[in-house]
Amino acid sequence: NAGVTQTPKFQVLKTGQSMTLQCAQDMNHEYMSWYRQDPGMGLRLIHYSVGAGITDQGEVPNGYNVSRSTTEDFPLRLLSAAPSQTSVYFCASTKQGRAEAFFGQGTRLTVV
């Protein structure tokens, strides 16, 4: 049981490049979320999904797209990276009706 798996662990992008951060969970959780962590800011919610085909915006959605075609996967896309998107990104999943969120190990993204 791998839990929540994020790839890659590290990435450096040039301004304007695009990329997809991958997130997969094998716990059959209905809910998945993306957060970004910045120094002194804690974690802030970017996007979330309550099931396949259903996504919604969180607190800081600008510059990011998501889709949820399967229960297991919830990729986060940066269409045109900006230095302000330099951050550590965490994916989380939660079982419907349960309170505990499980987090991946994070992706450290640097945009230069």
Partner 1 sequence: AQSVTQLDSQVPVFEEAPVELRCNYSSSVSVYLFWYVQYPNQGLQLLLKYLSGSTLVESINGFEAEFNKSQTSFHLRKPSVHISDTAEYFCAVSVAGGSNYKLTFGKGTLLTVNP
Min CB(42)–partner 1 separation in Å: 4
- Rama region for 82: left / alpha / beta (φ>0; ψ in -120 to 50; rest): beta
Distance between CA 2 and CA 87 in Å, rounded?
24
Min CB(52)–partner 1 separation in Å: 14
> Closer to partner 1 at the Cβ: 35 or 64?
35
> Closer to partner 1 at the Cβ: 77 or 103?
103
Q: Which residues are near partner 1 by CB under 8 A?
A: 4, 30-33, 35, 40-45, 48-50, 58, 90, 92, 94, 96-101, 103-106
* Three-state secondary structure string covering 37-49: EECCCEEEEEEEE
> Closer to partner 1 at the Cβ: 15 or 57?
57
Hey, what are 108's tokens?
């450290």
